[in-house]
Structure 1
Amino acid sequence: MKRWWQFWSDERFDRSMRRVLPRSFLVRSLLIVLIPMLVTQGIALELFYGNYLRVMSRRLSEGIASEIAFSLDLLERYHGHGDRFWLIRQARIRTQLVMDWHPGDHLATTGSTHVVGPMDEDLVHELQSAIAYPFFIDWLKDPHTVFISIQLPDGVLSVDTPRKRLDVGQLWLFVLWALGSSLLLFVIAAIFMRNQVRAIRRLANAAEQFGLGRDIGPIKPEGAREVRQAAVAFNRMQNRIFRFVSQRTAVLAGVSHDLRTPLTRLRLSLAMLPRSGVVDARLLSEDFNDMIADVAEMERMIEGYLSFARGEGAEVPVMLDVGALLEDVAASASRAGTIVRSVNCDSGLRLEARPDAMRRMLTNLVENVRRHNAGVWLSGYAEGETVIIEVDDDGPGIPAARREDVFRAFTSGAQGGTGLGLTIVRDIVRAHGGDVRLATSRMGGLAVKIILPR
C-alpha cells in the first residue's frame, strides 16, 4: 500500500490536480490568497461562535434561570396575596425581571421559539435544570424582550426578561464583519496581483515578439523585485543578442568585401596566363606564387571568420584557477617565440568561465604582442565582485582615438595587419558577462584590461 506522501507525489494525482486547477496565473494567485483567508476566517468564526459565544450565553442563561428559580422559591415560601405582589415588585426592582401573576390561567404550549444562536437552547436547558414547572419562551414577540411563561399549580407566572441580559451580540454582525473584511482584502490582493501579472504578461509578450524577430526595444521594468529582475535580464539578453547578430553581420560583410581583392587579383593572374606558345618559367613561377599567396590570404580570412562564427557557446563553464590559466598561456606563448616578461596573479583567484574560450582569448592577445616583437606582462587580481586580467606590452600601442575601431572586424592596427583578434576577444569576454578596455600601458605600449564577474 502506498503511503500518503507517495500518493501526493503520484503522477496521476498531479495530472488530476492540473485538470482541476485554473490555467491562469492570476486566478491561481488569487486562490492562494483567498483559500487561506477563508480558512482563517472560518477558524476565527468557529472559535468565537463555538467557544466564547456559547460559554457566555450559557452563563447568562444560568444567571436568569437562577434568579427565576430563587423568585419561585420565595413565592412558594411566602404565598400570601400581599407577600406575592411584594415579591414580584422587589424582583422587578432588584433583578430587572418584570413578573406578573395570572391566577387560574393555563399554558397553551410549552417549549421555546427559536432564534439564531445558542441563546434559546441554553435558556431552555438552564430552566429545565432550575425549575420543575412547564414553561414557554417567546423570543419573537418583541425584539427587546424575552417573554417567559411558567405554569404554576394555581396559575401562570409571566417573566419579561430584557433581551440584552441574554444576547451576547448579534451573530450576523460578526459574520458580516468577517465576510466584509475578507472581501476587502481579496479586492486589494486582486488589484496588486493584477499589476504583477500585467508585468509578467508584458514580459511574455516581449519575449514572443522578440522570438518572431521584431525589434520592440527594451521593456520597462515593473512589478515586484523578481519581475523587475526578469525584465532587466530580458533587456540585457536582447542587447547581447542584437550585439551578437550585428557583430557577425559586420564580420560577414567585412569578409565578403575583403575577399574581393584577392579574388580580383587571382582572376587577373589567371586571365594573363598565356594560353599557348612558349612560356617563361620564371614569370610563370612568379604568377603561381602570387596566386598561392592570394589563396592563402583568402583561407586566412575564411578561417578567421569561421573561428569567430563558431564561438564557444557549447562549452560548459567551470571554476578556473586564473593563476594556472595565465601560467599555461605564458608557457605556450614562450614556446611560440613571445617574450613573456612576467606573470603575476593573486593566490587562489578563481573564476567561473569556459576554459577553452578564455585560453583562446588570452592567446589572441599574446599573439598580437608577438607580431609587434614586444614583451608582454600578464597579471590577474580581484577587485570587488569582479576578476581583472591585464595584458600589458611595451610595443607601439594604439592611439586613444582609434582604440574603439580596432574591435571592428578586419580593422588595421597601429602596425598594420587585419584580422579578428580583438573582435574575438571582446566577443568572448562579453559572452561571459564582462567587458574589455584599452589604455596606455605603464611600459609604454598597450594595456588590455579584461573585467569579468566572479
Structure 2
Amino acid sequence: MLERPMRRVLPRSLLGRSLLIVLIPLVVTQGVSLQLFYGSHLDIVSRRLSAGVAGEVAQTLLLLDRYRRPADQAWIMATASDQFLLAMRFRPDATLDHARRANLFGPMDDELAAALQGIRRPFTMDWHTDPHVVKIHVQLEGGVLDIDAPRKRLDVGPIYLFVAWNAGSALLLFMVAALFMRNQVRAIRRLARAAEAFGMGREQGTIRPEGAQEVRKAASAFNRMQERILRFVTQRTAMLAGVSHDLRTPLTRLRLSLAMVPQHGALNAEELAPEISEMIADVEEMERMIEGYLGFARGEGSEQARPVDLPLLLDEVALSASRAGADFVRVLSTPMPELMLRKDAIRRVLANLLDNARRHGGRISLVAMLEERAVQIVVDDDGPGISPDRRESVFRPFESGATGGTGLGLTIARDIVRAHGGELSLETSPMGGLRARIRLPLQAAA
C-alpha cells in the first residue's frame, strides 16, 4: 500500500533517483554534524562563557553590598570595568522595565539568563539595542545597576558561518555528484535512443561506448547485436530477392506461352479460351503473391525516415484510390507539422487499408487528426466489417487470406506502423463497417 504513494513522490528518471540516493545521506550527515555542533559543542562553550560573565557580575554585586560608601562603590565599578570589561553605572530610585525582548538565534541569551539566576536578584537583558554589548539591568535596593558586557565575551562566533559552511559543502558535493551522474546517465540515454531508432528502422551506425564499465559493455553488446541483425536482414533480403527472380522467370515464360496460344481459328481454340484466361489469372495471382511475400520479408527496412507532409500524402493516396474505384465520403486532415516517417512504407499502409475498404465496402472516409502527442489516421467503410473475435487474428500472417489477397497486407501494415512507434487497431465503424485506426507518435517535427 505504501509503494504506490512512494512512486508518485520519487523521481521517475535514473538521474533523479541517483541524485536522491546521494542527497538523502548527505543531508542526514550534515544535519547530524550540525546537531552535534549546535546541540553539544556550542552549548558547552556558550555555557562556560556565560558562567564566567555571570560570576564576575555576582562578585561585583557582593562587593557593592559589602562596601556601601559611594567612594568604595565607585572604585568597585571602575575596577570591574578595567579588569572584567564590565561597564557599570547606578541609577538611583529606578525600577526595572520588564518588557519582553525577542530571543536570539543560538543558546547565548538562554545560557546567560540561566547563569545570572545565581545573583538572586531581578534582572533583565537587552541584546538588540547595541550590537557590540549586552545590556544587563539588575534591580538593587536603592535603584537599578546597569551593566554593559562586551558581546564578544559571550559570542562563540556567527552561527550562520557554520551553517553556511555546512550547507555550502553539501551543495558543492551534490553538484559534483550531479555532474558525475549526468555523464553516466547520458551514456545510457544515448544507448536508449540508438535502440529506439534501430527498432524503428533508422540506421544510425554504431554508438561509441562511454561511461561506466557496465554501460560500455551494454553499448558494445548493442553494436554487435545491431551488426548481426543487419547482416541477417541483408542476407535474407538478398536470398528472397534471388528466389523472387528465379520464380518470376518461369512465370514470365508461362505467361508469354499462354499469350501466344491462338484464341481464334485454331482447333478447339474457342473451347480452350476460358481455361487460358483462368491460367493467366492464376499466373498474375502468383506474381502478386511473390511480391507480397518479398515485401513481408523485406519489411520496408531499407527506407530511411525523412520529413513528410502527412496531409499531402493522404491526398495523394486518396486520389490514387479514387482512380482505382474508391468512393470517398470525405477526406479530412487537420493542420500538423511535418513528421519523421518512412514515406513509401506509410503510403503502402494507407493504400492497403483503402484497398481493403474499397473491396469490402461501398463508401470510405479518411480522416487524420492531430493530438497532443500523436497523430491519428482513421479509415472507415460501410462494408460487412470483421467480428470482434477475429480482429486480432487477421493481423497474423496468412490469416486474412480468406477475405481475398495473400493474407499478408494487414500483417505488413501493422509491422510498419509499429516500426514507427505507433499502433494499428481495428474497431467498429460508425458507418456500419470496419474502422482501421492508426496512431503515430509525434517523434519529431522537421
TM-score by length of 2: 0.52
CA distance in 1, matches of 2:106, 2:92: 34
Amino acid at match of 2:90: W
- Are 1:169 and 2:169 an aligned pair? no
Give, in angstroms, the shift of residue 225 of structure 1: 2.4
- Are 1:59 and 2:52 an aligned pair? no
Number of aligned positions between the proteins:
255
Give, in angstroms, the shift of residue 117 of structure 1: 0.9
CA distance in 1, matches of 2:160, 2:207: 50
User: What's the RMSD between the two structures over aligned residues?
Assistant: 2.9
Give, in angstroms, the shift of residue 234 of structure 1: 1.0
What SS does the corresponding residue of 1:150 show, helix, strand or coil?
A: strand
What SS does the corresponding residue of 2:126 show, helix, strand or coil?
A: strand
- Are 1:155 and 2:165 an aligned pair? no
Q: Which residue of 1 aligns with 2:202?
A: 214
Q: Which residue of 2 aligns with 1:83?
A: 72
Q: Which residue of 2 aligns with 1:22?
A: 11
TM-score by length of 1: 0.51
Q: 1:228-307, aligned counterparts within 5 Å?
A: 228-250=216-238
CA distance in 2, matches of 1:49, 1:124: 18
Give, in angstroms, the shift of residue 252 of structure 1: 5.0
- Are 1:108 and 2:97 an aligned pair? yes
Give, in angstroms, the shift of residue 74 of structure 1: 1.4
Give, in angstroms, the shift of residue 137 of structure 1: 0.6
What SS does the corresponding residue of 2:173 show, helix, strand or coil?
A: helix
CA distance in 2, matches of 1:125, 1:113: 16
What SS does the corresponding residue of 1:116 show, helix, strand or coil?
A: coil
Q: 1:30·1:193 contact (CA, 8 Å) conserved in 2?
A: yes
Q: Note the alpha carbon deviations across 1:382-416, whole angstroms, 9 max, x for none.
A: xxxxxxxxxxxxxxxxxxxxxxxxxxxxxxxxxxx
CA distance in 2, matches of 1:96, 1:103: 22
Give, in angstroms, the shift of residue 250 of structure 1: 4.8
Amino acid at match of 2:180: F
- Are 1:69 and 2:63 an aligned pair? no
Which residue of the other structure, out of 3, 16, 24, is the alignment partner of 1:35?
24
CA distance in 1, matches of 2:158, 2:248: 94
CA distance in 1, matches of 2:102, 2:61: 23
CA distance in 2, matches of 1:16, 1:120: 44
CA distance in 1, matches of 2:3, 2:145: 68
CA distance in 2, matches of 1:110, 1:206: 72
Which residue of the other structure, out of 114, 117, 133, is the alignment partner of 1:125?
114
CA distance in 2, matches of 1:87, 1:58: 26
Residue 218 and residue 151 in structure 1: after superposition, are their counterparts in 2 closer, same or farther (change >3 A)? same
Q: Note the alpha carbon deviations across 1:203-241, whole angstroms, 9 max, x for none.
A: 111001111222110012222222222211211111122
Q: 1:428-439, aligned counterparts within 5 Å?
A: none
CA distance in 2, matches of 1:19, 1:110: 50
Amino acid at match of 1:104: D
Q: Which residue of 1 aligns with 2:129?
A: 141
Amino acid at match of 1:28: R
Q: Note the alpha carbon deviations across 1:75-109, whole angstroms, 9 max, x for none.
A: 11222222111111111122111122223322222
Could you tell me which runs of 5 or more consecutive residues in structure 1 were left unpaired when the two chains were aligned.
Answer: 1-11, 268-454
Give, in angstroms, the shift of residue 256 of structure 1: 6.8
Give, in angstroms, the shift of residue 200 of structure 1: 1.4
Give, in angstroms, the shift of residue 147 of structure 1: 0.7
Q: Which residue of 2 aligns with 1:198?
A: 186
CA distance in 2, matches of 1:196, 1:189: 11
Amino acid at match of 2:49: L
CA distance in 2, matches of 1:23, 1:110: 54
Q: Note the alpha carbon deviations across 1:39-77, whole angstroms, 9 max, x for none.
A: 222112111111111111111111111111111111112
CA distance in 1, matches of 2:107, 2:33: 17
Q: 1:61·1:166 contact (CA, 8 Å) conserved in 2?
A: yes
Give, in angstroms, the shift of residue 255 of structure 1: 6.5
Residue 111 and residue 60 in structure 1: after superposition, are their counterparts in 2 closer, same or farther (change >3 A)? farther
Which residue of the other structure, out of 168, 172, 176, is the alignment partner of 1:188?
176
Q: Note the alpha carbon deviations across 1:268-320, whole angstroms, 9 max, x for none.
A: xxxxxxxxxxxxxxxxxxxxxxxxxxxxxxxxxxxxxxxxxxxxxxxxxxxxx
CA distance in 1, matches of 2:181, 2:212: 10
Q: Which residue of 2 aligns with 1:310?
A: none
CA distance in 2, matches of 1:256, 1:115: 91
Residue 75 and residue 110 in structure 1: after superposition, are their counterparts in 2 closer, same or farther (change >3 A)? farther
Give, in angstroms, the shift of residue 154 of structure 1: 1.4
CA distance in 2, matches of 1:55, 1:30: 36
CA distance in 2, matches of 1:46, 1:250: 73
Amino acid at match of 1:196: Q
Q: Select the structure with the greater relative contact order (CA < 8 A; seq sep ≥ 6).
A: 2
Amino acid at match of 2:195: A
Amino acid at match of 1:197: V
Could you tell me which runs of 5 or more consecutive residues in structure 2 were left unpaired when the two chains were aligned.
Answer: 255-446
Amino acid at match of 2:67: Y
Q: 1:352-431, aligned counterparts within 5 Å?
A: none
Q: Which residue of 2 aligns with 1:313?
A: none
Which residue of the other structure, out of 9, 13, 25, is the alignment partner of 2:2?
13
Q: Note the alpha carbon deviations across 1:370-390, whole angstroms, 9 max, x for none.
A: xxxxxxxxxxxxxxxxxxxxx
What SS does the corresponding residue of 1:102 show, helix, strand or coil?
A: strand
What SS does the corresponding residue of 2:29 show, helix, strand or coil?
A: helix
CA distance in 2, matches of 1:150, 1:113: 19
What SS does the corresponding residue of 2:145 show, helix, strand or coil?
A: strand
* Larger mean Cα displacement after TM superposition, 180-189 or 28-37: 180-189
Residue 83 and residue 111 in structure 1: after superposition, are their counterparts in 2 closer, same or farther (change >3 A)? farther
* Larger mean Cα displacement after TM superposition, 45-54 or 219-228: 219-228
Give, in angstroms, the shift of residue 19 of structure 1: 2.9
Residue 110 and residue 216 in structure 1: after superposition, are their counterparts in 2 closer, same or farther (change >3 A)? closer
Q: 1:22·1:28 contact (CA, 8 Å) conserved in 2?
A: yes
CA distance in 1, matches of 2:70, 2:139: 18
